[in-house]
Structures are given as structure tokens and as C-alpha cells.
Amino acid sequence: MNAILQRLWLILLGSVSATALVAASAPKEEVAEPLAPKVEKKEEILAPRTGVQTLFDLDLRRWPEERFYENLSAQIDALSHSHGVEGRVVMMDIAEIYLGQMMLYEAGSVLEGINGAGASREMRLRALRDAHRLLDGYPVDDFETSPLAAPNRVDRAFWAVLQAISSGDPVMLAENLEPGLLGLMHQTRPVAHKMLPILTEAMIEVGAHVHAEQALRLLEDFPDLSEAPVGSFLRGRAHQFINNESSALAAYFEAAKGFDRYAARARLALAKMALDDGGRGAILAARDVLEHGKNSWKGDFLEVQNLQTLAEVYVKNQDDIAALTAYGTIMLRFPGTAASDQAEEKASARLQAVYAAGEAGDIPLSHWLSVHYQLVPAFRYYAAFPKYVERVGDHLYKTGGTSMAADEYQRGLDLLRDLRIHHPERADDDLEFQLHLKKAEALAAGGQYREAKELLASLEMPDAADQREVVNRLRASVYAKIGDAEGLLRTHVKTPTPSNLRHVAQALWAKGNWAEAITFYERLWQEFPGQFDADDATYLLIAAHRADRDDVTDRVISFFPKLTESEGWMEIAQSFRTDPPPVFPLSRYAADNRIDRLQKSLENLSKSGL
């Protein structure tokens, strides 16, 4: 066995050529002829001789990797003047050259262009296609009938191992693992470079410790593998299987310094060992390792496992907010997957707890907002998250933070817009309408009337009557605040509020439309008697006086004592009841009396603040 491994070792290093191997296998009594004098001649590109044994259908060592450029150039030149079956044969040679260099994309592209190779070449074409799939990590259909599984192939076990790994066949793997490692001697160095770590890990996982140790020694002759994260990871895995935890930890930590998939796997292995240990120090170490490398490898199941394990570590460390962020990142990065569904299930209850605690005041507002801002990026495409944003805005509005509330409502609108673009089925028109209104209300409450007016003007009037009513009420309120009488009077409110009636009445009063002003003031008085105050009564009294409505004047003056106990207000009211002195016949006394009465009314009005 050691002799065979040593021979394999030398072949993988590329130190023994095919000619030397043939010479080594020749009878020892034959004596080599003296070398002929070296003669300068033009180098020709010839089909090279095969290696240890002729492999007719597929022989990756048929084309030495160190002559890749020359071999490929010669075949391309041959292809330029070949036709029909002859051309397809050349294309198969080109594909074989690419496979020997592990240039799988190029080999696959060439093989896709071959349509029929003739009856005598069909087995070779299938062997090339099967080899391409196996080297690329995919199983072959009906492997037993493949030319690669032919009993007379010396590297049959190597291909069988790749078939077993890609198809998940433990029986086939166990039967072919040891001879499969020896089958590497019939492959090129690039193929051995790629496949040796895979075979080594398979031996470790099935418990073939002796063969795994031999494979690890072979790995030492590929310094770019042995000294890379893959080498450290495999050594760590081997140590872990024989319960040598200290050596396993050292190897995993060394591998975790890298940035490739084996470094990511090393970090996961360290975290798993820490979670199994359960100690506080181990958990903190696992957290640091996972956080350090969480952005080093992205896009596949390893990233998912890293985030899931990181969330588990955070939970063990009682860091619920960090765990929520990890769950949200899974949902954001891998939507529609089982991992995303599991993360959503775990995150929903924690989200509810965090926002309920913030609303109840169980956590300081500053801390709640800090947590909220941390969660926004991770949950931006979570369909339920805009409602949590709305809850933050509502709380800020109630506590007087109108500007911050408007910002949160806008954040909710931005999230809904993104959902509409990327996930149209999750669009929520009702919530979008509600957030627009709440933002306008927050702007108005904060004195930003112009911004509120622009926002309300940009809204499409909804079809629902109740929603139109809400919009018009808010528009009317904003128009009144900025003194836009025309806009206020154009805005129809079917069921006006006390404020709306008062604002319309004041707008009509300011325009001198006394009759209609009286109508709206009287509606306010009749429909909302508790909201009708001394200011409203005074404006109504003036309008009634200007409109010569003595009946209204008398009713208002009689009602005044119920509105105020102020003597100033009462004097104002009574001044409207006293008939002015007649102008004709004109006399100095009548004119003076009329001026004194007007002066007194003006003084009372100025004191009232109207």
C-alpha cells in the first residue's frame, strides 16, 4: 500500500512523466540504447502517447497540462480544416483538453456543440459528458452503463466515488473510496488539485481514518491547499472526529482567518462546538468569530447557516435585538425559502414584544428608536413591518414629536412603495392612504401647513365616501390655518366638525357674506352647543347686526350670560342692542351721541381681542 501511495504521490507532483512510467514498467533486463546526438529540428505538435494504460474513451492525461497552449492551438488549427465526423472528433479532443485543466465551463460549451459523433465515437462522447457532470458536482443518470464505470477502466473507482458523493449513495462511497483515491494517479494535476480535498473530506466523514491520514499527507504536496483554509479545515475535521478538540479548535481558528467557503465552514464548526459547550466564554468566542466573517461568504446555504447559527448564538447570549437583526437579514437575503419562513416565525413574536414595550414606555424612547432604526434595513421587505413603523409614528405624534412622526410615516410610505415595486402582491393600498393622511396631520399639527397642503393636494381622491370625507376635513382644516378662504369654501365636508363649521363661518364673515356666515354660526350653535363660545357669539352678533337680523341679535344677547361672566363681553353684547340716535333731523347732539356710541363699541371690541 505504501509503495502504491508513494507512486501516486510522485505522479500528482508531476515529477514522473508518462514516458518514465512506461520505462519503469518495462522488463529490467532490457538496456536502453545510447542517446542519439541532439539534432536541431522544427518542433511538431503531435498527438501525445498515453500514460500508464490506454483509456480509449476518456484519458485526461492524454494531453499533458504543461503543454496546454500547444495542444489546444494544434486542435483549433486542425478544426479549421476538418469537416463532418472528423471535425466532431477534434471537438471531443478539445473538450478533453479543457477537462484535464478543470476548465469545466469551456468543456461544457464545446460538448454542447457536438451533435452526434458517429457510432464508433458515441461511447467516447458519453464518457466526456459524464466526466464533465461528475467533475462539476452533478450525478450521472444510469452510471452503471457509463463508459466511466466499465470494469476494465483502472480509474473506475475514482468516477464511482464522485458519483456516490453527488448522488448521496453511502454504499457506493464505502465500496470505492480507497481505490478511488488511487484512481487520482490517472488524472491530471489540476483534477487532482480539485478532487483531493473532496475525497479527503469524504474519508474523514465516513470514519476511514487511516486513508484520511494518508490523503492529508498527499495534501501537503499542494502547498496552496495545505496552507490554505481548506487544509486547516480538513485537519480540524479529522482531529474533531477522533475527539482531539484542542487540536481541532486550533486548526479551525487558523482556517477561520480566510475568506473562502472552507473558512466559512470553519467558523460554523467553531460555533457548533461553542454551542455544544454552552459556556459563557465559548458563546462569546463563537459570536466574535461569526460576526467577523459574516460578510466574507455570501449567496448560498453557507451564508444561511452562518446567519442561523449567529442568531442562535445571540439568543444564547440574551441579545434579542441582534437575533432579530439576524432573522431579518435571512428574510431579506433569501425570500421565499424555508429558511426565510423559519426566520419570520421566530422574528414575529420578538418584534411584537419590542414594539409593545416601546409603546407602553417599558423601555426609554431613545433606546426604542435606536432599536427601531437598527431593524429597518433588515425588515424593509417584511410585509408586516410598515405597520410597526406606523406604530412608532403614532407614539411620537401622541407625545408631541410631530416632525419625527411625519418622518416615520414617510418611512412607512417608502417601505410600501418598495414592496409594491418588488412584491406587487404585498401592496397595501389602505395602509398607504392612512399613512399619507397621518403624515399630513402631523405636518399640520407641527405648523408645517404649506407642506401639509401640498401633500393633500397630491393625493388622489379615494372612491370610498368615508375616505373622501376624511381627506376633505383635513384639507379644510389646513386651508383655514393658512387663511386660504377660497380653498376652504370650495372643500365640501358632508358631516362637518365644530372646527370646520367655525372655519367656514369665519371665512364667510371675512368676505362680508353676513347671511351665510349667520347660517354656519347658527349650525355650530345648534349642532355643537358645547363648542359654541363667546368668540363665536360675538362674530355672530356682528354679522346679525350688519344683516339687520334683530331676531338673531336678541337671541345671542340673551344667551351671552351662559357663555361668559366677563363684564367686557357683556358690554359688547349690550352695545349692539341700543338703537343709534336718528341721523335726521341732523343735530349736533345726535351726531355726538352716535360718535360716542361707536367709540365705545370699538373700545370694547379692542379689549376683547377680536
- Helices 104-112 & 84-100, crossing angle to 10 degrees? 160
pLDDT band at 16 (very low <50, low <70, confident <90, very high): very low
In order, the DSSP letters of 21-59 are: HHHHTS-TT--PPPPPPP--------PPP--SS--SS--
Average pLDDT, the chain: 82
CA atoms within 13 A on the CB side of 462: 18
pLDDT band at 312 (very low <50, low <70, confident <90, very high): very high
- Helices 301-316 & 261-277, crossing angle to 10 degrees? 30
Cell matching residue 127: 464518457
Dmax over Cα atoms in the chain, in whole Å?
Answer: 161
Predicted local distance difference test score (pLDDT) of residue 573: 63
- Residue 380, C-beta contacts closer than 8 angstroms, at least 6 positions apart: 332, 415, 418
Q: By 3-state DSSP, what share of the chain in percent is helix, strand and coil, each rounded to 5?
A: 75, 0, 25
User: Is residue 478's pLDDT more than 60?
Assistant: yes
Predicted local distance difference test score (pLDDT) of residue 222: 92
Instruction: Pick from 361-375, 516-530, 558-572 the range whose average pLDDT is largest.
Output: 361-375
Look at 81-95, 181-195, 283-297, 562-576 and tell me which has the smallest mean pLDDT: 562-576
pLDDT band at 25 (very low <50, low <70, confident <90, very high): very low
Predicted local distance difference test score (pLDDT) of residue 88: 86
Which residue type, as a one-letter code, is found at position 545? H
Across residues 249-267, what is the average pLDDT?
94
Q: Tell the CATH topology of 496-610.
A: 1.25.40
Q: CA–CA separation, 525 vs 560, rounded Å?
A: 12
Nearest 10 degrees: Cα torsion 16, 18, 19, 20: 30
pLDDT band at 31 (very low <50, low <70, confident <90, very high): very low
Would you say the C-alpha torsion 167, 172, 178, 179 has a positive or negative sign?
negative
Predicted local distance difference test score (pLDDT) of residue 33: 41
Q: Domain spans of the chain?
A: 383-494, 496-610
User: Is residue 607's pLDDT more than 70?
Assistant: no
Q: Would residue 184 be called left, alpha or beta, if left means φ above 0 and alpha means ψ between -120 and 50 degrees?
A: alpha
Q: What is the pLDDT of residues 323-362, one digit of tens each?
A: 999 999 999 999 889 999 999 999 999 999 999 999 999 9
Predicted local distance difference test score (pLDDT) of residue 595: 47
User: Is residue 564's pLDDT more than 90?
Assistant: no
User: Is residue 94's pLDDT more than 60?
Assistant: yes
CATH 1.25.40.10 assigned to 383-494 = yes
Q: What is the pLDDT of residues 263-274, one digit of tens each?
A: 999 999 999 999
Q: CA–CA separation, 94 vs 88, rounded Å?
A: 10
- Residue 75, C-beta contacts closer than 8 angstroms, at least 6 positions apart: 90, 93, 94, 97
Alpha-carbon separation of residue 479 from 125, 299, 403, 519 (angstroms): 81, 53, 20, 20
User: Is residue 19's pLDDT more than 50?
Assistant: no
Cell matching residue 563: 357663555
Predicted local distance difference test score (pLDDT) of residue 396: 95
Predicted local distance difference test score (pLDDT) of residue 604: 54
- Residue 6, C-beta contacts closer than 8 angstroms, at least 6 positions apart: none
Tell me: cis bond preceding 585? Omega within 30 of 0 counts.
yes
Q: CA–CA separation, 211 vs 137, rounded Å?
A: 22
Q: Among residues 66, 67, 113, 68, which one has the least CA distance to residue 90?
A: 113
Please count the other Cβ atoms lying within 10 Å of the Cβ belonging to residue 383. Answer: 16
Q: Give the N- to C-terminal CA distance of the chain in Å, as an integer.
A: 110
Q: What is the pLDDT of residues 105-144, one digit of tens each?
A: 999 999 998 887 666 688 899 999 999 999 999 999 999 9
**Residue/partner pairs of 279-287 with CB below 8 Å, 24 or more apart:** 283/313, 283/316, 283/317, 284/317, 286/313, 287/313, 287/314, 287/317
Q: CA–CA separation, 13 vs 15, rounded Å?
A: 5
Predicted local distance difference test score (pLDDT) of residue 229: 95
Across residues 75-80, what is the average pLDDT?
88
Cell matching residue 171: 454504499
Cell matching residue 144: 452503471
- Helices 301-316 & 280-293, crossing angle to 10 degrees? 150
Would you say the C-alpha torsion 200, 202, 204, 206 has a positive or negative sign?
negative
Q: CA–CA separation, 251 vs 548, rounded Å?
A: 101
Q: Among residues 300, 275, 299, which one has the least CA distance to residue 289?
A: 275
Q: What is the pLDDT of residues 34-68, one digit of tens each?
A: 434 444 433 333 334 444 444 568 999 888 888 89
User: Is residue 311's pLDDT more than 50?
Assistant: yes
